[in-house]
Chains A and B, each alone.
Chain A
Amino acid sequence: MNETTYIARALEGDLEAFNQLVLTYQDSAYNLAYRMLNDPDAAADVTQIAFIAAYRNLKTYRGGSFRAWVLRMVTNACYDELRRRKRRPTVTLEPFNRDEEEIESPTWLADNHLSPEEAVQMREVEKAITHCLQQLPEDFRAVVIMVDVEGYDYNEVAQILSKPLGTIKSRLARARFRLRDCLAGFAELLPARFRLDKEEMV
């Protein structure tokens, strides 16, 4: 069965068909939430909430990209969560040892497919990207995550965020401009494979 069939059956109330769509898009949804919130647990909660909201509001789906429609639910849920955090600030769940120092290698970042050296490099990149993304305003962050991290095209992002294409271009340019300055501070820490050679840039 293809996506259109699943959507049609889900619209008739078939939960199993909808769950097939969930399985298709749950990684995209979770990654978006994770980058927006920088908290794996909150990202999981928001993803679940977004899928429940999607099922309950399935009748508002008017065709087009189903991924964009689902990711709009995720984005809205992320904004809700960020607003809730502003109202009730909480201490972030950074991993600390008994001496209250940050643990260098959080278990949730461990990736069994990488060598120890690669894992260290990835941690550095992850840390730099996460840090710089969190410095951005939420609207800019959402756009740059979708375009540069997730690789969606401008039109899809415009659909997800319900914004005109010009707004997406403008926010993306500003986000990249700010990230450029922020990531420059981590340039020496980035492994060689994350730097473009001069020849490559031409």
Chain B
Amino acid sequence: MKTRLSYKDWERLSAYLDDQLSERERRQVEEQLRTRPEYREAWDSLRQTRHVLRQAPRHKAPRAFTLTPAMVTSHQPRPSLIWQLAPALAIFLVVLAVLLEWLPLPEGGRAMRTIAPSAPQIEALGMTEPTPTAVIVYWGGPPPPAGTMGMGGEGAADMGGGSSKGTVPEHPPLPPTTPAPLVVPPPYPSQPLTPPQATPEIRTLQGPANETPNPILGLPAPEERGKIYIATPSALPTPEGPRGSGVPLRRWIQAGLIGIALVLSTILLIRKSRS
């Protein structure tokens, strides 16, 4: 029963069956029917198919479908304009929420942001620009002078195979970091500025007791063992003070728009499922 005809062949045969071909196409099909057995077989099967379908019993309408005045006047109440426009409105709100990402906001919007002082401001305030808060750990004290850290420094004498027993100069302890009070007219009078402070912490550690002090290896002098200095520059306060949940106004507006769109869509879906 299976034949290897293309869909184009089937289409032509089907149209030929209903006499829907032009004279030229009809002659071509008849030629194929004479010369190709599979064409003939396909043609027979199509005719058989149509014959069976034409025998399908017709059903009488179970009742008269005539209309009564009540049928044609009982319009369902049209949904109000807001519900007709609701899908478009929901889409518009979502698009607006996305576009808001690139739209400039009025000044009021910026007030919600956490404002960090700009470089000129920092300069005017005599403050040092805060660096990323990397924790620097010194074993037993402040870092040694740069000259002693290279291979040619004095410390390097102690780094060989142990033949030289040179002495490592003791490092002076860090001077206490007590910054001078900063008196600057605050740009935001309501909230006074506090200058950045380095807040060294000293933590005691249990280090090995009988090691030779070595600044390169980070081995502290005996009297400084067991202490570490951690220097963490404190963050610059914002003019508005620290803001834990610093969500900009833009985000609130976007969330609001998307929220309204979601509520609209949900109500629409519920209404549609009920109808």
Contact = CB atoms under 8 A, between A and B. Distances in A.
B57 A111 contact: yes
B46 interface: yes
A81 to B, nearest CB: 15
Q: Is the interface of B mostly helix, strand, loop or mixed?
A: helix
A179 B18 contact: no
A128 interface: yes
Interface in B24-61: 44-61
Interface stretch (A1-9, A28-36, A61-69, A96-104): A28-36
B63 interface: yes
Interface stretch (B7-15, B173-181, B239-247, B249-257): B7-15
B51 A179 contact: no
B53 A129 contact: yes
Given A56-B72, A125-B56, A180 B64 contact: no
A119 B160 CA distance: 112
Nearest to B45: A180
B50 A194 contact: no
A148 B50 contact: yes
Contact of A27 (B53, B55, B56, B61): B61
A26 interface: yes
Q: Is the interface of A mostly helix, strand, loop or mixed?
A: helix
Given A30-B62, A173-B13, A176-B46, A125 B7 contact: no
Contact of B53 (A23, A169, A179): A179
Contacts of B188: none
Given A55-B67, A111-B57, A180-B45, A125 B62 contact: no
Of B13, B52, B67, B68, the most chain A CB neighbours within 10 A belong to: B52
Contacts of A44: 61-63, 65
Interface of A: 15, 18-19, 22-23, 26-27, 29-31, 34-35, 40, 44, 47-48, 51-52, 55-56, 111, 122, 125-126, 128-129, 144, 147-149, 151, 154, 169-170, 172-174, 176-177, 179-181, 183-184, 190, 193-196, 201
Which 7 residue pairs are nearest across A and B when measured between Cβ atoms?
A: A173-B14, A148-B53, A173-B11, A19-B66, A30-B61, A180-B49, A26-B61
